[in-house]
Structure 1
């Protein structure tokens, strides 16, 4: 057995910096960093607001709403990006002087995604003057049209890819809309919302609003912890601009200057506030926040982010933790059922389909995205998991059941483009769809499930190749003996933030096994020795129990990351094992 490893090729010549360890310089070069300017972190080095298309259209609308204290309704989304975007917009507008602001987040089970026609009708009934969408809206053509017909103004802020037609909004702010010259196309929804607030503050300053109102312009940086959280949790690429946003947010949290809700969720997971990493956003806070939108109502998660009372935040964080544990239990059962479905498919034709599509009527809508992700990781195929949605009566009086699907993809396959091609080549199969390169959502009719599967598999056949289907683990090579210490591990951490598109340094090498045992039923705990005779603790979470523990394995080849383990006041280096095979 061998690991399919590929060492990173240096995409550039390492730039000279006497303050950086040579290994870190090589790590940067492997990620395309060619100059110190690309690792800048100051807030003042963010891309200019003025380059966002649509920002100038939105300013007079917001200024007028502020002067007349019109009612503004924020329409959010039910994931972590949507939750942080909604909380940010609520807090930011209030800080800028808006007193009549509320929010609506669609319950995924009743309304579906974004400013849907159903949600639009509710808002029209309740009344508002201006709607601002966050992390949604670019594909909500019908919903935007309805509120516009009712005389309500609409500002769309979104980051999802635009379709062939744009909504009839008064202003659209989205770096991925046609004609937008903003250099970073990777802003999360919360990043776009933050830029809108930055633009509004500058506009009000130019209008002498703060001077005339005898108030100081607010420091919007106090909300950048929300921006960092939503950016990492939404798994957008950490390009230069996003790395500045995340770095600034992390710095604020480490200084103790963060929202009580974020502090409470970190406390619930026993994370030290002052040692938080970008990965904690994706693996600790994000899942707890997402659990509200998956199983219940994301408004609960938003309230946790909005509250200024730490005691209340702790109670909410505890409830979110319980929801996340419930989500894990549901996911485990669904994943096992889905794997059984895929196993039967393999029995029928002897191979895994080009694209995996699974559905069971009793599956939970809120968890299908995670299940699709788990199957994608296990089988390394673009995967869609479906759950039963609404049953409606069509114009002919026929009862029609809708399926909600969540798609996850592999590198090299742009899943939204694949769905677009299915929609073009097989019209009528997909009711609606949207998303990114690696994740998307869609709706189909239950009666068209098999036809969609065939179409999905057929379209993927033209995109898949042996290279695309070969899963390779990229590493930064072997680590010299002098780097196996907590000091170098801290340097690696400070060289970040790391995340999607700017991956955390990962190394590989051969080690002698001194000791191995299971902890927590499925985690492999090891003591390893390198060629220099240095001993290290190592942990491999969710080990393959059919292979490990393996007492005959005296040498192993591992892919790993460096970590610092603290226990009872003692600090030592620990290797986080990402993959392991015997090397005897």
Structure 2
């Protein structure tokens, strides 16, 4: 009935079915505008902080923004830089160095801030601070007020800041607990600008004009896209597509090869976001924030080019570390399971470490390894202060931050610092506690992970009819807001293959020229060049439809998510060869830096790697939106 009601409201049949499959019951749930955003009054302390900030403008107090070094932090910082600057605030910003300072408002950062000329009267954090007890204490000692804006889970004991705005703190009734750090900063900026206007002062900006930053940060931080987050992203995308945004956003789209007038969430997640993040991973996020906030188009273009070059360097480093991390993970998976715990699922978690790995990319490597092996994964390296720092990623149903809380309680002295969310977390451990941490996490995973959770699932929306393979419909789908918790449509189709070839500068990608009915489609499988010889005359592919425009010509493209082995038996020998090569590399790594080190090894050290079971679940819709499911037996 939901799909029928939406169709009666003017929504196309395919889009209505896709919405219904994602639990949408009324078109108002996905068609809200600026006026439908949650009120700022519902975010605890936002109005009080706005009033205090307006007082700072009047008193000409120096306010210093202290940001995080990822895209969420950079866009949150940009929101406040523009809002404060436009309102005449005496302000500046500072970003910790990932390697030198680490995460958050540390005492070291506070000391550096206090040494600035002019010395700040007030520090306001964005996308960090909720766990910075020592840093806030240091600021208080130095006579610097601290205002905290953050979205991370709040600890039991909060820092002694003057005011804290965080929807995840106790007593905050703001319904959208999934809001990103840039979203929290925007709500504070909105309240501040409205406060300035109520006092008869020029706010400089309308709050809505800053939403382009929120769209970037919200998508890049992969927070769940609840209704409020979808509205924030949609309103921001409107501004970007109309080029009513900072020149740096337009320049980042250009160097990413994206059409700013038709920018999509996917373009942000895989194009603009990684280029901003690259600054914080390998260099300094100051370059990213400057690119986002400069009003000089030429300066923005130069900074965007530099960020693009840094991102290319990041990808090269990441490839090397990713290969090493996978080999070490396979060695780890060969460890003997404790007596009585043996089963078909084997090891439940992966904690890999190498002292030479670059701290800036361990998070993204953890994400890739988690996707490959479908296990909660932590990738760690040696920090400059001789501790071990790591970044973790989880699988659906397993709350990584809660697991760290339990390890901290049961294994005192192992975790020196930690924080994060259900699906991602960062931590620092004592240098001699790696194995204890590894086995503590494994014990929790072994207790809490169910067979259902250990089965990787790919949700898809059934077959995309040949009649729907047209530029108009695919463009319409691309302009919707998709992301975490409201996933971009994935379809499962049988393609007739006319030709296939290996492409790319490093010859790692597979391109197939195909047809669906009479419609020509390019099927792109990135990183799958080793399967080229297994391409048959017909292939069944789970894919995301996209448009590729080059030299004025727009072509339909199917971006491969999966080519199921059960439905493509010609791939089987090549997939076995891929796993055999991985096993060979893992066996050859024994005793090297890619070996996970001490621990009980299985009686037979040679590995026979079998990929995690994968279940493909169809969410194709009947006319009333009722969900159908099918299970495919996959290797």
Q: TM-score, length-normalised on structure 1?
A: 0.92
Cα-Cα RMSD = 1.8
The answer as to whether partners of 1:52 and 1:181 remain within 8 angstroms in 2 is yes
Match of 2:8 among 10, 14, 17: 17
**In 1: Cα distance, 2:450 partner to 2:482 partner:** 29
Alignment partner, residue 122 of structure 1: 112
1:468–1:527 distance in 2 versus 1, CA, 3 Å:
same
Partner of 1:548, secondary structure, is helix
Please give the per-residue CA displacement for 1:493-536, whole angstroms capped at 9, x wherever unaligned.
Answer: 23x11111111111112223222221111211112233x44432
The answer as to whether partners of 2:520 and 2:556 remain within 8 angstroms in 1 is no
Alignment partner, residue 430 of structure 2: 445
**In 1: Cα distance, 2:5 partner to 2:532 partner:** 39
The answer as to whether partners of 2:87 and 2:203 remain within 8 angstroms in 1 is no
Alignment partner, residue 550 of structure 2: 567
Alignment partner, residue 327 of structure 2: 340
**In 1: Cα distance, 2:81 partner to 2:453 partner:** 43
Partner of 1:246, secondary structure, is helix
| Matching of residues 125-524 of structure 1 within 5 Å | 125-126=115-116, 127-206=119-198, 208-210=199-201, 215=202, 218-349=205-336, 353-391=347-385, 401-494=386-479, 496-520=480-504, 521-524=507-510
Deviation at 1:60, TM superposition (A): 3.3
The answer as to whether partners of 1:429 and 1:445 remain within 8 angstroms in 2 is yes
Q: Which runs of 5 or more structure 1 residues have no equivalent in the other structure?
A: 1-9, 392-400
Deviation at 1:554, TM superposition (A): 2.5
The answer as to whether partners of 1:518 and 1:549 remain within 8 angstroms in 2 is no
Partner of 2:498, secondary structure, is strand
Match of 1:55 among 46, 59, 65: 46
**In 2: Cα distance, 1:14 partner to 1:575 partner:** 30
The answer as to whether partners of 2:121 and 2:145 remain within 8 angstroms in 1 is yes
Bigger mean CA offset, 265-274 vs 319-328:
265-274
Match of 1:66 among 57, 71, 74: 57
Please give the per-residue CA displacement for 1:546-577, whole angstroms capped at 9, x wherever unaligned.
Answer: x33325x2322210111112233222322122
Alignment partner, residue 396 of structure 1: none
The answer as to whether partners of 1:41 and 1:248 remain within 8 angstroms in 2 is no
Alignment partner, residue 394 of structure 1: none
Deviation at 1:302, TM superposition (A): 1.0
Alignment partner, residue 395 of structure 1: none
**In 2: Cα distance, 1:86 partner to 1:363 partner:** 28
Deviation at 1:234, TM superposition (A): 0.7
The answer as to whether partners of 2:40 and 2:191 remain within 8 angstroms in 1 is yes
1:270–1:458 distance in 2 versus 1, CA, 3 Å:
same
Q: TM-score, length-normalised on structure 2?
A: 0.85
Alignment partner, residue 39 of structure 1: 30
Please give the per-residue CA displacement for 1:109-155, whole angstroms capped at 9, x wherever unaligned.
Answer: 11111101111122233321111100001011110111122222111
Deviation at 1:36, TM superposition (A): 2.0
Partner of 1:460, secondary structure, is helix
The answer as to whether partners of 1:416 and 1:434 remain within 8 angstroms in 2 is yes
**In 2: Cα distance, 1:105 partner to 1:568 partner:** 40
Bigger mean CA offset, 140-149 vs 57-66:
57-66
Partner of 1:156, secondary structure, is strand
Aligned residue pairs, count: 556
Alignment partner, residue 580 of structure 1: 563
Please give the per-residue CA displacement for 1:396-447, whole angstroms capped at 9, x wherever unaligned.
Answer: xxxxx21111001111111111111111222221111100111100000111
Alignment partner, residue 528 of structure 2: 543
